[in-house]
Chains A and B, each alone.
Chain A
Amino acid sequence: MRRRRWAVVAGVLALVLAIPVVIASWPVDPAPALTPAQLRDRVTASADVPWSGYAEASGGLNLPDVAQFSDVTTLLSGTSRLRVFYAAPDTSRVDQLYPTGERSRYVLPTGQAVWDYGAQLLTYVRRDPTVRLPRPDDLPPPQLARRLLSGTAPDDALTPLPARRLAGVDAAGFRVTVADPRTSVGALDVWADPASGLPVAVEVRTKDAAGRLAAGPVVVSTMLELEQAGPDPSLFVPRAGPGAGVTRSPTSDLFGVLGRGSPSSVPDRIDGVGRERPQRGFAAIGQYGTSLSQLVVVPLPPDLATSLLANIGRAGSASRTIAVSAPSAALGRAGSAQAGALQSPLLQLAIVRVGGRAWAVGGLVPDAVLDRAVTDVARSAR
């Protein structure tokens, strides 16, 4: 009697435990079957697929918190919970969910709006530069996959990956192995719905100086809930709650603020790569190259650079000093030149100060490329 009843309990327990196991091991059969190249092309062309869903993105960069860049460092060093409503490239809403709050970014044909529950503030943003710091709405798998794939070369090696079921989608996968030695990105693993091309998971792997791929991914973005249909248009109306403030801002990006100066405030060429034509209104942002190895240089106010360098100096093992020499032609406090970098396997960010001028230099590049870029930037000071 007693044994039989406990057997019933064991049966119930086994049944409950089996449910997630069975769901996880249900065979995955992506249809239609595509070659990796066909799938990649569908992914790059998927910007018009409307969808809404929930994704989680986690970064393992372990960057320390550095004052003005804390949004970026926390974004790439922790897990972001993202709820997304996406109708078109110029109509979307990404809510970053916190345990007791929320921060939403609306991208609308008329501009952008940012709702911050913590600050109780709705900010209408006129526009951000195309070259800008990473933000939460870059991280959902479709956005991340398309942005990163646009920086790969058409002849980068493609290999198929085993299919996975994610957010109810039987997703086919492929890996792009990035051949460019000037970038720290080693490979991009993308899983996408073969029917629509909508990516449902992205994993980014780094490579070391010898070109060997890292064992595990450094950035992972996974869709956990997905509906491929046009979201209700009423979701795209930014609303400020009662009692909350509303304000306007020309730009919401730090580079957008720093990049308003003269086009001649950054060098024409660094590490042998010429400067892209600057965007109107953000003439002082220097963009070098358009692939994943792209470098970005923005001028900094010298006092900000000094405080950033002090912050970086305190960051311990994640920081590095780069030796730079002030050019003899530098006026003012001649000979005072300083450079420091926040380093991670994927993203590098350096601050250079020469006399009374300073810059931030960043990119998904290895140490050697950053060092050469920093040297070139320091040399341009005169």
Chain B
Amino acid sequence: MIVVELRKLFRRPRTWVTIGLLCLLPAIVAAFLASTRIAPPPGQGAAFLSAVLQSGSLYPAAALALVLPIFLPVAVAVVAGDAVAGESGAGTLRYLLVRPVRRTALLGAKLVSVIVFVVVTVAAVAGSSYVVGVALFGAGDPVAVVNAIPQISGPGGGGSGDAGSSGSAGSSGTANGPAAAAPAAPGASPPASGTPGTGSTTTSDPTEARDRAQDSVSSLSGAPLSPGDLALRLLGAMGYITISMLGVGAIALFLSTVTASSLGATLGALAALITSQVLVTLDAAASVTPYLPTRYWLAWIDFFRDPIFLRDIRAGVLVQLAYVVVLMAAAWANFTTKDVGA
């Protein structure tokens, strides 16, 4: 049953067009960023967009931040809203239920296919944007990072552009220069405040300095992230975003059992989301905001703090699970007792 639903999902061109369009948006943004090198200031605008200029390996996070607020929930609402109502509208639900399948199992299979769709979409967006990011911004060339320090600490960020894309071999000597020079003068006091930019970041231990330079991505708390650490955090963020979409999926799936129009179910789910988004920003609604489906959507960014800040992530998972449990129960109660005429 699940296999049948999955085959149905992935045989549809529409599924692949949706995923393709979701991957296209970050690619367009990356193309503009790479050609102009004009990023929003760090901490403003979309998350991580400024950091990707230094290392493309962070671009999956920036890409997820771009699709999360609108495109991803719309895609999930379309797929989940179509799940039952689409069959009903096309007249195939009747034939589907003529076969000896239990309606509960059918509903479960629909939910699984929605979840698989979210997982595949998030993975596709992250994967494609990693490729795009590394291709356009480089994977955080350590030499470029060290060279970029004095330029980035200055007011104009434009200079970091050529540092990010310049070749590594030619300038590797300069990167090790300040680090290697320090132990050569034992007893010398640490670099004075004369050259604050370069002086204090490089420690006196050359290997440590090199290790540190290889961690080319910074957490929001300032601590550098090693590639393995970054990969784990990205996986965590992807998993959390997938879970965040379950609430939307459950709302759309429930509405899909109520109406025979998949468009109605999709728009209903989106209306619920927009309501939630509006209420989250409203101080007067503070008493209900912790229970709204979109309240903790942005908590995936907490994976990139050091140490990882789990409070909102935990709350977000619980809220999404509550929505899935209640709405799937409602969908089950409605669907299993429904007269399927069409």
**Cα–Cα distance between A198 and B84 once the two chains are bound (Å):** 55
The A-contacting residues of B in range 93-148, CB under 8 angstroms, are 140, 145, 148
A120, B220: Cβ atoms closer than 8 Å: no
Residues of B within 8 A of A120 (CB): 42, 152-153
Closest chain A residue, CB of each to CB of B223: A239
Q: Does A154 sit at the interface, judged by CB under 8 A? A: no
A241, B219: Cβ atoms closer than 8 Å: yes
Size category of the A interface is: 35 or more
Residues of A within 8 A of B213 (CB): 242
A238, B222: Cβ atoms closer than 8 Å: yes
Q: Does A8 sit at the interface, judged by CB under 8 A? A: yes
Whole-angstrom distance from the CB of B226 to the nearest CB of chain A? Answer: 11
Q: With A5-B333, A9-B333, A99-B298 as known contacts, state yes or no: A245 contacts B42, CB within 8 Å.
A: no
B43, A118: Cβ atoms closer than 8 Å: yes
A115, B311: Cβ atoms closer than 8 Å: no
B217, A242: Cβ atoms closer than 8 Å: yes
Q: Does B309 sit at the interface, judged by CB under 8 A? A: yes
B332, A5: Cβ atoms closer than 8 Å: yes
**Cα–Cα distance between A225 and B215 once the two chains are bound (Å):** 31
A9, B153: Cβ atoms closer than 8 Å: no
Q: Does A193 sit at the interface, judged by CB under 8 A? A: no
Q: Does B330 sit at the interface, judged by CB under 8 A? A: yes
Residues of B within 8 A of A102 (CB): 43, 220-222, 305
Residues of B within 8 A of A316 (CB): none
**Cα–Cα distance between A83 and B322 once the two chains are bound (Å):** 27
Residues of A within 8 A of B154 (CB): 245
Closest chain A residue, CB of each to CB of B323: A16
**Cα–Cα distance between A122 and B45 once the two chains are bound (Å):** 21
Closest chain A residue, CB of each to CB of B291: A20
The B-contacting residues of A in range 25-61, CB under 8 angstroms, are 54
Q: Does A162 sit at the interface, judged by CB under 8 A? A: no
Encode contact with A along B196-231: 1 for CB under 8 Å, 0 otherwise: 110111000000000011011111111110000000
The B-contacting residues of A in range 88-147, CB under 8 angstroms, are 95, 97-102, 104, 115, 117-122, 124
Closest chain B residue, CB of each to CB of A224: B311
Q: With A120-B152, A239-B222 as known contacts, state yes or no: A16 contacts B325, CB within 8 Å.
A: yes
Q: Does B329 sit at the interface, judged by CB under 8 A? A: yes
B309, A97: Cβ atoms closer than 8 Å: yes
B219, A225: Cβ atoms closer than 8 Å: no
Q: Does B337 sit at the interface, judged by CB under 8 A? A: yes
Residues of A within 8 A of B199 (CB): 246
Residues of B within 8 A of A243 (CB): 54, 145, 148-149, 152, 160, 216, 218
Closest chain B residue, CB of each to CB of A78: B283
**Cα–Cα distance between A348 and B337 once the two chains are bound (Å):** 66
Partner of A118, one of B44, B305, B332: B44
Whole-angstrom distance from the CB of B235 to the nearest CB of chain A? Answer: 20
A225, B311: Cβ atoms closer than 8 Å: yes
**Cα–Cα distance between A235 and B326 once the two chains are bound (Å):** 41
A1, B337: Cβ atoms closer than 8 Å: yes
Whole-angstrom distance from the CB of B330 to the nearest CB of chain A? Answer: 5
A248, B54: Cβ atoms closer than 8 Å: no
Partner of A117, one of B43, B201, B309: B43
**Cα–Cα distance between A115 and B201 once the two chains are bound (Å):** 13
Whole-angstrom distance from the CB of B307 to the nearest CB of chain A? Answer: 7
Closest chain B residue, CB of each to CB of A5: B333
Residues of A within 8 A of B200 (CB): 124, 246, 248
**Cα–Cα distance between A246 and B196 once the two chains are bound (Å):** 6
Whole-angstrom distance from the CB of B247 to the nearest CB of chain A? Answer: 13
Whole-angstrom distance from the CB of A85 to the nearest CB of chain B? Answer: 9
**Cα–Cα distance between A378 and B282 once the two chains are bound (Å):** 44
Q: With A5-B333, A102-B305, A247-B196 as known contacts, state yes or no: A240 contacts B222, CB within 8 Å.
A: yes
A83, B333: Cβ atoms closer than 8 Å: no
Residues of A within 8 A of B307 (CB): 235
B301, A99: Cβ atoms closer than 8 Å: yes
B301, A242: Cβ atoms closer than 8 Å: no
Residues of A within 8 A of B220 (CB): 100-102, 117
A118, B325: Cβ atoms closer than 8 Å: no
Q: Does B180 sit at the interface, judged by CB under 8 A? A: no
Q: Does A2 sit at the interface, judged by CB under 8 A? A: yes
**Cα–Cα distance between A120 and B152 once the two chains are bound (Å):** 8
Residues of A within 8 A of B35 (CB): none
Residues of B within 8 A of A224 (CB): 311
A2, B337: Cβ atoms closer than 8 Å: yes
Q: Does A13 sit at the interface, judged by CB under 8 A? A: yes
Residues of A within 8 A of B45 (CB): 100
Q: Does B47 sit at the interface, judged by CB under 8 A? A: yes
Residues of A within 8 A of B326 (CB): 9, 12-13, 16
The B-contacting residues of A in range 226-277, CB under 8 angstroms, are 235, 238-248
B222, A9: Cβ atoms closer than 8 Å: no
Residue among A100, A240, A245, A246 with max Cβ neighbours from chain B (10 Å): A100
**Cα–Cα distance between A122 and B325 once the two chains are bound (Å):** 46
Residues of A within 8 A of B148 (CB): 243
Q: Does B240 sit at the interface, judged by CB under 8 A? A: no
Residue among B42, B65, B149, B307 with max Cβ neighbours from chain A (10 Å): B42
Residues of B within 8 A of A100 (CB): 43-48, 65, 220, 301
Q: Does B158 sit at the interface, judged by CB under 8 A? A: no
Given contacts A9-B332, A247-B153, 13 further A-B contacts (CB under 8 A): A12-B326, A100-B43, A100-B47, A101-B44, A118-B41, A118-B43, A118-B44, A239-B221, A240-B201, A240-B218, A242-B215, A244-B152, A247-B197
User: Residues on B close to A: CB < 8 A?
Assistant: 41-48, 54-55, 65, 140, 145, 148-150, 152-154, 160, 193, 196-197, 199-201, 212-213, 215-224, 291, 298, 301, 305, 307, 309, 311, 322, 325-326, 329-330, 332-333, 336-337
Q: Which 4 A-B pairs have the closest CB atoms?
A: A241-B218, A245-B153, A101-B43, A118-B43
User: Residues on A close to B: CB < 8 A?
Assistant: 1-2, 5-6, 8-9, 12-13, 16, 20, 54, 83, 95, 97-102, 104, 115, 117-122, 124, 224-225, 235, 238-248
14 contacts between A and B (CB under 8 A): A9-B326, A13-B329, A16-B325, A99-B47, A100-B45, A118-B43, A235-B307, A241-B217, A244-B149, A245-B149, A245-B153, A245-B154, A245-B197, A246-B196
